[in-house]
């Protein structure tokens, strides 16, 4: 597996990481612990060194799974986790939008609890999960800076933050990475965020790089989602939107045939070709999909390929919002 460095930091990870959320959270009931442990350990054997989790995934059980599964490989892996939600009450706040909590005392408490669940002496990369408008970002960055100075955290990250917030945080404590959704069907970061990341030397970690499964080509207008699958609540996954967005899958399929690859591999290879400091973290619970995703690192898209993709994608209007309004309001701040 090739390696990449996140921005100007000294954090070097596998070119493709593994998002672990779906093993415990959001995509139906939690998966079998023994099976997921085996998958995580196989990922290490395949060369993956970058694993993504968060306290809210479960809550808590995903960090416990990742910590236990990767304990034998601690010196070989980088584990990222996140803080920023109020889990003392219903994280959905009873209104569909999670409650935020990035107060300094909560950041410290989350760090201590995550250290125990992950079975580590220091958190490799500690993201603010969503920007909390009630806490100045300078205070958040300062709290993480203190944790770094205390040896409990190694790197500071932000998730779904807006350009100005990132810049302000970076002045207090250098931001190693921004985690945000980015893929061929969500390209909003290209307008302001990616140029600013390049200017400041911050890495980008795209989550949902396969469009929450859509860009694999395995979903269509007839696909149904269990009520425990959060895609059942997303506007972009209604039958009408899935049908309307099929043109993007057709495009990926055409290029995949030329490259002897799969649509998912083309979608990931496209991301890797954008910048050398982009590290996508596709999630999966299946070994077959893990191997397919990792195979994308070997797919070489030429400048002509990228121009063809760009030209064709420009003619496709993606239908449907990516999140309900309450959740979208938590992004880009």
Annotate the chain with three-state secondary structure.
Answer: CCEEECCCCCCEEECCCEECHHHCCCECCCCCHHHHHHHHHHHHHCCCCEEECCCCCCCCHHHHHHHHHHHHHHHHCEEEEEECECCCCCCCCCCCCCCECCCHHHHHHHHHHHHHHHCCCCEEEEEECCCCCCCCHHHHHHHHHHHHHCCCEEEEEEECCCHHHHHHHHHHCCEEEEEEECECCECHHHCCHHHHHHHHCCEEEEECCCHHHHHHCCCCCCCCCCCCEHHHHCHHHCHHHHHHCHHHHHHHHHHHHHHCCCHHHHHHHHHHHHCCCECCCCECCCHHHHHHHHHHHHCCCCHHHHHHHHHHHHCCCCCCCCCCHHHHCCCCC
Angle at the Cα of 62 from the Cα atoms of 127 and 22, rounded to 5 degrees = 90
Tally of structural domains, the chain: 1
> For residue 28, what pLDDT is reported?
86
Q: Is a pLDDT exceeding 50 seen at residue 320? A: yes
Region 276-291: mean pLDDT is 98
CATH number at residue 89: 3.20.20.100
pLDDT of residue 88: 80
Q: What pLDDT score does 273 carry?
A: 98
pLDDT band at 239 (very low <50, low <70, confident <90, very high): very high
Q: What is the pLDDT of residue 58?
A: 93
| pLDDT number for residue 94 | 47
Asked if the model's pLDDT at residue 89 lies above 70, the reply is no
Q: Which residue has the higher pLDDT, 47 or 98?
A: 47
**318 domain residue, yes or no:** no
Name the band, by pLDDT with cuts 50, 70 and 90, for residue 90.
low
Which member of 57, 127, 182, 207 is catalytic? 57
Which residue range is the domain that position 196 belongs to?
A: 3-211+275-299
Residue 306, pLDDT score: 96
Checking if the pLDDT of 27 tops 80, the result is yes
Any domain includes 80: yes
Active site residue 57: yes
For the cut 50, the answer to whether the pLDDT of residue 317 exceeds it is yes
Mean pLDDT computed over every residue of the chain: 95
Residue 333 lies in a domain: no
Is 50 exceeded by the pLDDT of residue 291?
yes
pLDDT tens, position by position, 113-167: 999 999 999 999 999 999 999 999 999 999 999 999 999 999 999 999 999 999 9
Tell the residue number behind the tokens 């400091």, with chain if given. Answer: 277
Tell me: the pLDDT tens digits for 168-187? 999 999 999 999 999 999 99
- pLDDT of 97 > 90? The answer is no
The pLDDT value recorded for residue 96 is 53
């Amino acid at each position: 597996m090739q390696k990449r460095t996140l921005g100007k930091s000294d954090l070097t990870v596998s070119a493709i990481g593994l998002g672990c959320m779906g093993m415990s959270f959001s995509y139906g009931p939690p998966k079998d612990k023994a099976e997921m442990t085996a998958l995580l350990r196989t990922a290490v054997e395949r060369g993956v060194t970058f694993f993504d989790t968060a306290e809210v995934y479960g809550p808590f059980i995903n960090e416990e799974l990742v910590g236990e599964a990767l304990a034998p490989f601690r010196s070989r892996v980088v584990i990222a986790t996140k803080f920023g939600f109020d889990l003392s009450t219903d994280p959905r706040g009873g209104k569909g939008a999670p409650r935020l909590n990035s107060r300094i005392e909560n950041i410290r408490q989350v760090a201590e609890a995550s250290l125990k669940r992950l079975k580590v002496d220091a958190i490799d990369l500690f993201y603010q999960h969503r920007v909390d408008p009630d806490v100045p970002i300078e205070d958040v960055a300062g709290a993480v800076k203190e944790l770094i100075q205390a040896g409990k955290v190694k790197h500071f990250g932000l998730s779904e933050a807006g350009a100005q917030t990132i810049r302000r945080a970076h002045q207090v404590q250098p931001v190693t990475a921004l985690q945000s959704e980015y893929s061929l069907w969500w390209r909003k970061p290209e307008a302001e965020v990616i140029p600013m990341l390049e200017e400041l030397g911050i890495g980008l970690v795209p989550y949902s790089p396969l469009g929450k499964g859509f860009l694999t080509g395995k979903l269509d207008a007839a696909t149904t989602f269990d009520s425990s699958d959060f895609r059942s609540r997303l506007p972009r996954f209604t039958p009408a939107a899935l049908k309307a967005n099929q043109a993007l899958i057709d495009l990926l399929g055409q290029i995949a045939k030329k490259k002897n690859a799969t649509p998912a591999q083309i979608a990931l290879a496209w991301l890797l070709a954008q910048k050398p400091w982009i590290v996508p973290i596709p999630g999966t619970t299946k070994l077959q999909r893990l191997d397919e995703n990792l195979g994308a690192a070997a797919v070489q898209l030429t400048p002509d390929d990228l121009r063809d993709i760009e030209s064709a994608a420009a003619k496709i209007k993606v239908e449907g919002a990516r999140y309900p309004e309450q959740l979208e309001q938590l992004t880009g701040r």
